[in-house]
Amino acid sequence: MEPETQRTLNRLMRLCAGREYCSGDIRRKLADLPEADARAVLDALLREGYVDDARYARAFARDKSALQGWGSLKIRLALQRKGVGADDIAAALSGIDGPAAQVRLEQILGTKWKTLQRETDPAKREAKFFRYARGRGYGYQEIKRIYDQLRRDQDA
């Protein structure tokens, strides 16, 4: 391996030791290297365990769900954009703590519901609520169930 390529490999090993990266992230960082050198660096990182798409996907899905309240649709799309494989994405999404994610969703949408009470037009309020929840990556059925519950609670 050429000295410049070895320096790049060492730099990326330090980066990967500090936080998770997927192979797509590494490919973007190696864009200025010749193809053969970039492939050699990526292969070395994969072989040594510095880069692991499955591990990255699990950590990404767990963090985005628990910390930022993202839904599975938004997590799936973000991982696809990063070039993570479908099998790794599916495994990562199945590893999300379902009950905790449900509680988080109810908290997020409950808070949004309270902020929308100033909206006088019920159709606009509903549209804003659904748009917000869809933007967070949740499916229509999940949103509808919580929306109906919040409306029932308000009417009671």
In the predicted model, is pLDDT for residue 154 greater than 80? yes
Work out the angle between the directed axes of helices 53-68 and 98-115 (0-180°, nearest 10).
40
Convert the pLDDT of each residue in 36-51 to its tens digit. Answer: 889 999 999 999 999 9
In the predicted model, is pLDDT for residue 103 greater than 80? yes
Environment class of residue 132 by beta-carbon count within 10 Å: exposed (0-12), middle (13-18) or buried (19+)? middle
Q: What is the pLDDT of residue 155?
A: 79
CA distance 72 to 101: 10
Convert the pLDDT of each residue in 17-42 to its tens digit. Answer: 999 999 999 999 998 888 888 999 99
CA distance 137 to 131: 10
The candidate with the shortest Cα–Cα distance to 126, out of 146, 101, 104, is 146
CA distance 75 to 55: 15
CATH class of 53-94: mainly alpha
Structural domain boundaries in the chain: 3-47, 53-94, 98-155
Question: Looking at this protein, which amino acid is placed at residue 89?
Answer: I
Question: Looking at this protein, which amino acid is placed at residue 87?
Answer: D
